[in-house]
Amino acid sequence: MRVVLAPMEGVLDHLMRDLLTKVGGYDLCITEFVRVVDQLISDKAFFRFCPELRDADVYGSTTAAGTPVRVQLLGQNPQCMSDNAAKVIELGSHGVDINFGCPSKMVNNNRGGAILLKDPENLYQIVSAIRKSVPEDAIVSAKIRLGYEDKSLAIENAQAIEAAGANELTVHARTKLEGYKPPAHWQWIAKIKQSIDIPVIANGDIFNQSDANKCREISTCNNIMVGRGALMLPNLAHVIKQTASVMPWHEVQKLLLDYTRCETYGDKSKYYPNRIKQWLKYLKLQYTEADALFQEIRTLKTAQAITNRL
């Protein structure tokens, strides 16, 4: 079984990837999406989203714990997407992932993300252009939802992505309209898996070991991706793989301090108060202690005040 750490824009940045892969159990990380509009993105910009690409020949584009990292691209122009895909592979990314699931209004208005699920031919053109622009052994993966308004094109979209030469497909088992509303329709992942031959990774609402078991059984997928669950329970991948039990709160507290140390280093400390509060909002769904801590720091505005409290 592979457990992939999901892309989460504004949440799962390289520091969080570093921290969670050190806790362990993850086989691959996907970066937050990098928006491709109409030009080749600079090395500097790619390094900002994915610092793991720096000195890739020495460090192998992995997190400090050695987990491979794959860059995700979001865009709608096949030529521009393929130029940027070729570049991230050249920079050392472990494959390239394409975002066909983003529900953001602004992104969809610019014809990127989930809106592309309305047109399988468009998906085909993008994936096929990317496939042709990267070496044969480079992994091209895509991440979809079940559709935009409804699920009528779910199978056709998956087949278009496979026919265009993708090596694997992650399915977040909801439509764009369903947003994040439970339940995730894992049985639809099984339908998709049945209709294509490339590996399928199941995603959506896996928050504990029992969810992972149910999802794997219903979706018939061995491999899963977890996002919000990894923030609620930092050792979720180990718990799912039965290599550890639920991390006790005192260990989570140590992680919060490690995170604080990294986030407040250099010029990033202005983001820290929001980031730590955001993480505690996820943690409090698993740990009552996190809720109490969140209440204590909720009104604190500076990194120093929060660090003192921690």
Ligand X SMILES: Cc1cc2nc3c(=O)[nH]c(=O)nc-3n(C[C@H](O)[C@H](O)[C@H](O)COP(=O)(O)O)c2cc1C
Residues of this chain that interact with ligand X (CB under 6 A) are 6-11, 32-33, 72, 99, 101-102, 143, 172, 203-206, 226-229
User: In the bound complex, what is the minimum distance in angstroms from residue 263's beta carbon to ligand X?
Assistant: 17
User: In the bound complex, what is the minimum distance in angstroms from residue 250's beta carbon to ligand X?
Assistant: 25
Helices (H), the chain: 14-23, 43-49, 56-59, 78-91, 105-109, 120-133, 154-163, 186-195, 209-219, 228-232, 236-240, 249-263, 272-283, 288-297, 303-309
Of 8 and 163, nearer to ligand X (C-beta) is 8
User: In the bound complex, what is the minimum distance in angstroms from residue 304's beta carbon to ligand X?
Assistant: 27
User: In the bound complex, what is the minimum distance in angstroms from residue 104's beta carbon to ligand X?
Assistant: 9
User: In the bound complex, what is the minimum distance in angstroms from residue 226's beta carbon to ligand X?
Assistant: 5
Of 8 and 310, nearer to ligand X (C-beta) is 8
29: annotated active-site residue:
no
Of 111 and 253, nearer to ligand X (C-beta) is 111
Q: Is the Cβ–Cβ distance between 52 and 61 less than 8 Å?
A: yes
Instruction: Give CA–CA dist 9/177, Å, rounded.
Output: 19
Radius of gyration of the chain (CA): 19
**In the complex, which residue's CB is closest to ligand X?**
227
What's the one-letter identity of residue 82? Answer: S
Of 178 and 205, nearer to ligand X (C-beta) is 205
Catalytic residue chosen out of the listed positions 29, 80, 102, 221: 102
b/e code 263-286 from CB counts within 10 Å (16+ = b): bbeeeebeebbebbeebbebbbeb
Where in 119-253 does DSSP place strands (E)? 140-147, 168-175, 200-203, 223-226
Of 7 and 273, nearer to ligand X (C-beta) is 7
Residues annotated as catalytic are 102
